[in-house]
Homo-oligomer: A and B are copies of this chain.
């Protein structure tokens, strides 16, 4: 019952996780666009993990990188919505994993993002997902994730 009453922000706090300002966007684009009751985010890399999963980092480190990328996405949602409780459903995430040609555990890496979504939003956090392996990513980030979210009401 206690858990039911926790907001996503309280849930994050209970996990020892802190929301931060949105990472700066360098270029003629923005971190997200809202259209009706959907939010489309830009891809979010991570500053903490740069290099290829499979050589520079192992699966467990990749998991943590994906978790951090999702934190960066939650920062974007917080900035857009004010309150994360306005998320009605996480619709879709697409995870780009910077990896070697032989690395096939992209799903285990992306679980770092998926698990966090369900920890924070419960059933509403259950999303469609694709996980794929990339030749390289911006700034050498080990992961980049983009997200589509449905919100409760399309305030304008």
Interface residues of A (CB under 8 A from B): 26-33, 35-38, 40-43, 89-94, 96, 99-107, 110-111, 114-115, 117-118, 125-140, 144, 146, 148, 150
Contact = CB atoms under 8 A, between A and B. Distances in A.
B111 A28 contact: yes
Nearest to A107: B138
Copies in the complex: 3
A106 B35 contact: no
A134 B135 contact: yes
Given A33-B89, A150-B35, A28 B134 contact: no
B89 A127 contact: no
A96 B40 CA distance: 18
A139 to B, nearest CB: 5
A30 B104 contact: no
A92 B139 contact: no
Interface centre among A40, A90, A93, A118 (most CB of B within 10 A): A40
